[in-house]
Each structure stands twice: as structure tokens, then as C-alpha cells.
Chain A
Amino acid sequence: MGEAAHRYDGTLPLEYRTQESRLNILGFWIFLGAEVALFATLFATYLVLFQRTGSGPTAGELFEVKDVLIETLLLLTSSFTCGLAIFEMRRGRLAGLLAWLLVTLLLGAGFITFEIREFIHYVHEGATMQTSAFLSSFFVLVGTHGAHVSLGIGWMILIIIQLLQRGFTPKTARKVFIVSLYWHFLDVVWIFIFTLVYLLGMVI
């Protein structure tokens, strides 16, 4: 820390202006690196286990295309609206930022709702995470992503409250920026889930 921590650079975007913010943003990028390793491990586990269905259903028998497509559309759109939110922040428009964050949040909540519906549907079909190694790895991989999205929604709500209380400050701007990094990251993970879990599951 020290005076270095408050070294202020007015030429940078708001979220990058203090040294503390720059450290936080770099730290968060590195954290995302660790998250990549985490999800990579889960994907590897899934790919090792997904044909080991025991006496339970196979991926092809189980997956609901319609729900998954709706989830995908909702989450991909939310990533776009999240980008718009940052765009509004860079233009210094608090109302625009808040509006797009709210849209992002609702789309995320919609995604989670459909995912929970999908999971409940599978469980009703008798496909629980205890049924087979395939289903254990499926529920843990997709569920970990879902838990991340849920956490992101809670986090975004906290930041929206802080934006309403404090307006634009280097600190709130930095928080918005970091949550947006997180949100885009989850979107990328979902693209891999969509491809490697659902598409692959329906082909093989």
C-alpha cells in the first residue's frame, strides 16, 4: 500500500484511476485464471465420465433441447447487456448503467429459473446426481456454473445498491467493471457447457 496505493491517474477510465483499483482488477483477472483451471478440471472430469452411465439414462436420452436453448439465449443476451452497461458507465451515464445492469440481472435470473426447471425435470425422470457417474459429473459441472451465476446475481444487487447510495466513484466504477468481467467469464464457460455437454451429449 502506501502513497502508491492512492496514486491517481485522471487520464484513465474511472475504474482504473487509483492504484488500488488497478491492483484489484489485475488480481481479479488472475482469479479468473484460477477459475479457468477449476472449470477445466470439471470439464475433464465430465468428459472422462459422461459415457459411464451405469444403469441410469444416457445424455442423449435425457437432455431437453428447448430449455437449454432458452437458457443459452438468455445468458448470451445478458452478457451483451452487461457490455452495454459498461459502455454507459464509460459515457458517465448512471441511469443507463443502472438500467442495463438491471436487465442483465433479470436475464440472469431467467437463466437460473430455467436451469432449475431443467434440473427438477431430470430429477422427476429419476435422473439424480446419485444415479450414475455421468449424472454426478453433469450436475456438479452445470451446477457449479449455476451457483456462480446465482452468486453473480447477488453480487450485482449489492453493487446496484452501492451505486444508488454513492453514485460514480473510482471505487463503485471498479466494482461494476470487475463484476462485468466475472459475468462475461461465466458466459464463456456456458458456451463450453453448451458445446461439450449438451451438443456432444445429443450427438453421441
Chain B
Amino acid sequence: MKWSEFFVTGEPLIYAADVAIVLTMVGIVFVLTYFKKWKWLWNEWLTTVDHKKIGVMYIICAVLMLFRGGVDALLMRAQLTAPNMKFLDAQHYNEIFTTHGTIMILFMAMPFIIGLMNIVVPLQIGARDVAFPYLNALSFWLFFFGALLFNISFVIGGSPDAGWTAYFPLAGNEFSHGVGNNYYAVALQISGIGTLMTGINFLVTILKMRAPGMTLMRMPMFTWTILITCVLIIFAFPVLTVALALMTFDRIFGTQFFTMANGGMSMLWANLFWIWGHPEVYIVILPSFGIFSEVVSTFAQKRLFGYKAMVGSIVGIAFLSFIVWVHHFFTMGAGPAVNSAFSITTMAIAIPTGVKIFNWLFTIRKGKIRFTTAMLWSLAFIPNFVIGGVTGVMLAMAAADYQYHNSYFLIAHFHYVLIAGTVFACFAGLHYWYPKMFGHILNERLGKWTFWLFMIGFNICFFPMYFLGLMGMTRRMYTYSADLGWTPLNVVATVGAALMGIGFIVLCYNIYYSARYGERDMTGDPWNGRTLEWATASPPVHYNFPVTPVVEDLDAYWVMKKKYGGFQVKEEDLKPIHMPSNSGRPFWMSVAFFVAGFGLVFKWFALAIVGALFIVLGLILRSFEDDDGYYIPVDEIKRMERAARKGA
């Protein structure tokens, strides 16, 4: 392989990106060295097993990936603004919509949700950490290096270009020669393993580590959605693991799973992909429902309406999510009987989802509503998501789907559910739990600017796409001719995308502004919250709770405040607290995964084997490790509690 093939060449945009990457790296190294922060970075972050810090790292990565995926989106909108644009060529456009989709789902939505669940779930159930803190760190670093591997593809070797669904035979060797789709297969595999371990970790955590008195039916709704999401992860992600492994075998070792000759079956890929892919959609939306439930209940200052119906509908949605996958390819010829069955199951999902919508509406009804930024996101979610949901039911009708399939109508539909559902939830959750993460509140005024810019921009961008789809504009086309009459609506959509971009910039400025001037949260409970995370300091001391709280009812902290005036800790009740030790191994093992993956992508098998040997070494060292963690003595706890509570 020549160097000119190794590095992507020929595009001014790519050279600009090369320069930006080098400058950023030099900048980071310079800042860390100048301020003597290397040791701090290693001890406080890279080796941490603290669920709160891991959660923060997930969210930082998710925001960076939102930037990357957002730039991809803006490039696409720029190309489509006017007919016959020459801004991007067909190949570059293919690469950009592929990375946009993959990054937004797997490296933005997933880590954002997993980040919030890392920070919040142990606090909500009154635990000191997750069940397997070391594994949690490994999960994060596998995600991180998987994402890194995926992201370097656009400057080294070339990006995947077969769409985020990577359908065969297009994604096979016959039609995609470069290394781009190898990156897809290997990078998703690495971060997918991390996600699977997160699912196991949090399922055990929620089942076994709840505070005394917190029965399943007293769990906060966010924790409930995470519990069910974990079950989805555990049963859906192995399917992705297999699908990607088969893809890797086909592309790198020349097997015949999805090929055109020798008995291969390309439709098998579509089935495997969506057997994972559809539950995956619910993996990012159920936690979002959980976030909205918490926010709506807190800011309507009422107990969540229909708690049991809410739990039942989550379970129902999770079950149905596994039996709808064929609706992603109604037009591929499965026949009327199969299509009808999947049509019905798909429409059935609207029932439990509708139940949840009404529960939120009834929670708001007669509540004393406080219009905070988090609440605005949650209120905007309801009508926007309903638009996405109703058009989803339209798409679910198999016969009608032949008209909409892979048109901009579909694009508009899934952006209405994924943005109005998941992205709004991420922003709501970010504003809501920000004081818990960092000890200060995100500026509400700037937050509302972000909200209005982004929410209005979102509707201006995606609502016209419904009509573009009905007018015949299909997905993934990189340009169109002027006489089709699509230009005005495309111009409108691009204006909307720009507004969303401005909203994102305001959010980033808000993060900076609030860190410097934001209101400090000295109480630990800035929103008059209802669940246990608000019983801790902001940010919580690393052991979370000095003594394990006792739960008497749903909305545990609300009850505590009413009955006892808060979470009462008597110093004589303190006992030494056991905590897990930090470890650098998850970090370097994930580096080894990265090296092995990089070798596999380029078929440099010697490098892949070296990486694999280091992975095995890491496993052996872990097996022989005899580290039982350490105890924090009572005097130390007293000192830390006083320091954390000095403002209260």
C-alpha cells in the first residue's frame, strides 16, 4: 500500500481537516504540558472507575460526536440547497451520509444516554457505584477507541460509503473496494462490545444494588427505562456482534455470507442488521422517555401520572421492538403475508407509546409548572414526537410504504422521532442533571436561546422534508435537477439546519459561560427534585452517600423532605466505606483493541496479532489481580461531608 492510498488525498476539505487535527493535537499536548496536567489526567480521568466521571467522559465524547455528525449534516444540506451543486461529489456525499448516520446513532445518541445513565442510575437507587466498576471503565474505553477508529477513517484510508445500514451486496468486496467498510465493521464491533458489557453491568446494578426499601415498583421512572433498555441491549447487541463478524469475514477473509455468488444471501444482512437495529432505536428512545418522565414530574411538581401503566408500556414496547424489524424493508419482496404481520406489530407499538404520551399530559395537568429549559425541551418533545409517531404509523402500512420507502418522507419521520425524542431528551437531561455533574447550573437564559433556535430550526429543517418525500425526492441522492421543483423546500430545510447549528454553538458557549459565571449549586437540590440523586451534594462526593438511604415510597427524596426535612445523616451512623481501586488497564487494553482493529482494517495481520496478544495479556493480568479496593475511614468521611455541605 502506498502512502498516497493510506492518507486520503485530493479534497481541500480533507486537507483542512488534516491541519485542524494536527493543530488540535499539538494544542492539547501543549496545554497539558504547560499546565502540568498529564498526571492529573491519568489519575483523575483515564484510570478512574467512578461512574460519575465515566459518565462525564461519555457525555463529552457525545457532544464532540454531535459536532462531527452535525458538520456532516450541514455539508449535506449545503450540497442539497440548490440543484446541480458542485460542492461535494457523489463519492464524498456517500461517505458523509454514511458517517453522519453511524456517528449520530452509535457515537452520539448511545454515549449521551449511557453517560446520563452512568451518572444518574447509581445515585437514583442509592448505590455507591455500579456492580462492576472496572468493567464500566473498560466499556467506556472500548466505546472511546471504537469511536476514534471510526473517526480517523476520513483522513486515513477513506470513510465507509455504503450507508449507515451498510446493505450488501453494496458493502461487500464486489462493490466497495477500499478499507472504508472495514472500518465500519471493526470500529462498531469494538464499541459494541463495550455497550454489551454496559448492559450487563447496569442490569446487575439495578437488580441487586438498590437501597433498602426500594422495591422494583418504587424505582424512579428513569431507572425503570434503563433496566428495560439493558435487557434490550443484552439480547440485541449479540446479533450486531454476529452480523459485524460475518461482515468482517466476508470483507477481510473472503467468506460467502452476503456475496452474490456461491450461495451467499445479501438479504440475510438486512435481516440481521435490523433485528439489532430496531431494538437499537428503542435502546435510545426508552431512556429518553425516562428522562422526560423525571423532568415533567419534577417541574410540574407532581407525582408521575400512571406509574404502573408507564412501566407496563415500557415493557410492552421493549417486547414489540423485537418483532417489527421487517418494516425496514417492506419493498424487498417478503410477500403480503409477512409484510402484513410486521405491519400490524409495528402499528401496535403506537398503543403503549400513546399511553405514555397521555401519562405525561396528565402529569402536567393541574401541575404548578416551572418553565425551565429542561422542561421546555420536554414539553416540545410531546407534539414534535407525536408528528414523528403518526407519520411512523403511516409508514407502517406496508402497501402505502411502497410509496414512501426510502424517500425524504422517511428521512423526515425518523428525524422527528430521533431528534424530538432522543436529542431533545439528551438536552433536557443535560440541563436537568448538569448541576449534579458539575456543581453549577447551566445558564437558563442561554439555555432557552438554544432551545428556541434548535427547536424552531429543527421544524424548519425537517417539516419540508415530508413534502419533498411526497414530491418524489429520494434518500441519499447527492444532487437533483432544477425542473423537479424541489429547490424552494430544500432552501428552507438548509436554513433550518443552519439554525440548529447556531443553537448548538449557543449550547457550547453556555457550557463555557456557565463554568465561569454560572450559578453554583450549594444545596445539591436546585430543582426541588423528587428522586435520590438530589439527596447528594452537587457534585456528589465520590462515594455518593455517606450512609445508605432508606426508601419508603416512590419519589424517595420527596418523601424524605416532607417527613424528615431532607436526607438526614447522623455522624454516629457513619461506617468506613469500601471503594474500588482505580486501574489503568481498561485504558491500555482498549488501546490494544484499537491497534488490533486498525491492523484488521488494513489487513496488516502482524499488527492485529500484536494487538490481540496485549488484549490477552490484559485479561491474564486481571485474572491474577488481587485488589479488593480500599476503605475510606470515618474521619475522612466526616471531613469530606463537611466540605461538600458547607454551603447548605
Contact = CB atoms under 8 A, between A and B. Distances in A.
A132 B238 contact: no
B86 interface: no
A130 B253 contact: yes
21 contacts: A1-B580, A2-B577, A4-B548, A6-B578, A23-B204, A27-B204, A30-B200, A30-B203, A33-B234, A34-B199, A34-B200, A41-B243, A54-B261, A130-B254, A131-B262, A133-B257, A133-B262, A136-B255, A140-B249, A140-B255, A175-B623
Chain A interface residue number, banded: 35 or more
Contacts, number: 137
Given A26-B204, A136-B255, A42 B242 contact: yes
Interface residues of B, number: 55
B129 interface: yes
Contact of A5 (B242, B243, B264, B578): B578
Given A41-B238, A132-B262, A140 B127 contact: no
Nearest first, the 8 A-B pairs at minimum CB distance are A52-B263, A133-B263, A54-B262, A38-B238, A136-B255, A2-B128, A37-B238, A54-B263
B265 A52 contact: yes
B275 to A, nearest CB: 8
Interface of A: 1-6, 22-24, 26-27, 30-31, 33-35, 37-38, 41-42, 45, 48-49, 52-56, 129-137, 139-140, 155, 158-159, 162, 171, 175
Interface in B183-204: 196, 199-201, 203-204
Given A3-B577, A34-B237, A137-B257, A49 B262 contact: no
A153 B40 CA distance: 40
A26 B208 CA distance: 9
B234 A133 contact: no
A5 B129 CA distance: 10
Q: Is chain A's binding surface mostly helix, strand, loop or mixed?
A: helix
Interface of B: 127-129, 131-133, 196, 199-201, 203-204, 207-209, 234-239, 241-243, 245-246, 249-250, 253-257, 259, 261-265, 268, 272, 275, 543, 548, 575-580, 620, 623-624, 626, 629
Nearest to A33: B234
Contact of A2 (B261, B275, B543): B543
A131 to B, nearest CB: 7
Looking at B236, B239, B250, the one whose CB has the most chain A CB atoms below 10 A away is B239
Contacts of A137: 257
B204 A45 contact: no
A97 B286 CA distance: 46
Looking at B209, B237, B250, B255, the one whose CB has the most chain A CB atoms below 10 A away is B255
Contacts of B242: 38, 41-42, 45
